[in-house]
Structure 1
Amino acid sequence: MMQNLTGWHALVILTIALLLFGSSKLPSLARSVGQSLRILKDEAQQGAEEQEAATAVVEPVPTRHAS
């Protein structure tokens, strides 16, 4: 989906954002989007580490045979 975007598309999106939010709100908007992406990346990395740790710790349980 994102591979079809060209420079013109980005320019149109930026113009619409400028019209909607105004030039004074754009820096804070960009900052909050950056923070959200950073949080999402950290959470995804933690989830992957937890999943890796959960699958790596699994050990077979010894079975006892009834006599």
Structure 2
Amino acid sequence: MFGSFGWMELMLILIIVLIIFGAGKIPQLGEGLGKAIKGFKKSVNEADAIDVTPPPSEAPEAPPSQVAQTQAAPSATAPAQPVKQVKQG
């Protein structure tokens, strides 16, 4: 991975990091990076704490064709209300 980088390139990167962040921030950056890597490894190796499997339903669901028929049936049996038309003019 670092085979293409020589010592001069690595020193240049280190100097740029020191200029940008300063000597006081480097330990904090390293600590944050270490915690992030540790948390990532922990989450990869452990099982999920959240169970994402859906709970079993108590009543079996009807196929969509039966659901559509049962929903359409009440509207067909309801008495139709006459529509009054108002003439404008």
TM > 0.5 fold call:
yes
Query: Cα–Cα, structure 1 residues 44 and 23, in superposed 2: closer, same or farther, change >3 Å?
Result: same
Corresponding position of 1:21: 21
RMSD, aligned CA: 2.1
Say whether residues 1:32 and 2:8 are aligned partners: no
Say whether residues 1:6 and 2:6 are aligned partners: yes
**Structure 1 residue runs of 4+, over 6 Å off?**
none
Shift of 1:4: 2.8
Choose between structure 1 and 2 for higher RCO, CA contacts under 8 A separated by at least 6 residues: 1
Between structures 1 and 2, the one with greater helix share = 1
Query: Cα–Cα, structure 1 residues 44 and 5, in superposed 2: closer, same or farther, change >3 Å?
Result: farther
Query: Cα–Cα, structure 1 residues 7 and 29, in superposed 2: closer, same or farther, change >3 Å?
Result: same
The number of residues matched between the two structures is 48
**Gapped runs of 5+ residues in structure 1?**
51-67
TM-score (norm 2): 0.44
Shift of 1:2: 4.4
Identity %: 25
Query: Cα–Cα, structure 1 residues 4 and 25, in superposed 2: closer, same or farther, change >3 Å?
Result: same
Cα deviation code 1:24-43 (max 9, x no counterpart): 11111111011111111111
TM-score (norm 1): 0.56
